[in-house]
Amino acid sequence: MQVITIPVTPFAQNSRIVICNETNQAVVIDPGGDTDKIITALNDRQLDLKAIWLTHGHSDHVGGADILRKHFNIQIIGPQKDEVFWFENLPMQAQMFGFTPIAPFYPDIWLNHDDVVSVGKLSFVVKHCPGHTPGHIVFYQPQYETVIVGDVIFKGSIGRTDFPKGDSQQLIESIRAHILTLPDNTKILSGHGSDTTVSFEKQTNPFVSGKFG
C-alpha cells in the first residue's frame, strides 16, 4: 500500500490517494478541492482510479468530489447516511467557511459501521465515529496498520464540535471506542496536520489520554 498526501483548500486539508501497489488501482479520500492537483498526481503515476471515499461532509473534505466523479466516471462512497445534512447544505457551508459555492450533491453509496471497502487487494474496515459530524466514518487497514480518520482526531488534538450537529462527548466516546482500541503501532492519518500513532495519542493527547484532568 502507498499513500500520497495532497494538501488542498486554504484549510490545508490532507486529501489522500491510496494505492494498491499490486494492481495500480487507487481511491481518492476526501478531495476537498484543488482537483487539478489530484488529477495531475493520478495521471503522472498512471493510476487506475476506482472510487472516491469520503469521511464526512464538510466542504474542505468533499468540495472536489463531484468534479472527480464526473471526470473519471466513478462513484462517491461514504460517509454514513446521517451526514446527509451537510451535503444538503453545501451552499450554506460555502458561506460559513468562505469557500466558492457549490451545488448540493450526494454520495452514490452510504456506508455503515463495520462495512468493508476495497481497492485492488486492499480492504478497509469502516468505523462510524460521530461527534465532529453525525455521519463521520474512518477507514482502517489492519495489515498495514493504518487508519484514515478525517477530522476525528489529530496529533495532540481532536475535531471541532462547535458546528451544527457536533457533540463533544460523542466524539470522545468514538475516539476511545474505535481509534484508541486499535493496535498501538497503528498510523493515524488525519485530515489536517501531521500523521501520528495510536500509541502517541494514548500517551500525550490531552483530550483523550486521561492524563490531563
d(CA 189, CA 199): 14
Q: Mean pLDDT over all residues of the chain?
A: 96
Residue 128 bridge partners (DSSP): 137
Half-sphere exposure of 65 (CA within 13 A, CB side): 33
Q: What is the pLDDT of residues 21-79, one digit of tens each?
A: 999 999 999 999 999 999 999 999 999 999 999 999 999 999 999 999 999 999 999 99
Is the confidence at residue 211, as pLDDT, over 80?
Answer: no
Is the confidence at residue 171, as pLDDT, over 50?
Answer: yes
Give the pLDDT of residue 36: 98
Is the confidence at residue 206, as pLDDT, over 90?
Answer: yes
Give the pLDDT of residue 213: 46
Confidence grade of residue 111 (pLDDT, cut at 50, 70, 90) = very high
CA distances from 25 to 39, 67, 119, 169 (A): 14, 19, 6, 38
Confidence grade of residue 100 (pLDDT, cut at 50, 70, 90) = confident
2-204 belongs to CATH 1.10.3720.10? no
Domain ranges, ordered by start, for the chain: 2-204
Is the confidence at residue 210, as pLDDT, over 80?
Answer: no
| pTM, two decimal places | 0.97
Is the confidence at residue 212, as pLDDT, over 70?
Answer: no
Q: Is 45 helix (H, G, I), strand (E, B) or coil?
A: coil
CA dihedral 42, 102, 80, 197 (to 10 degrees): 50
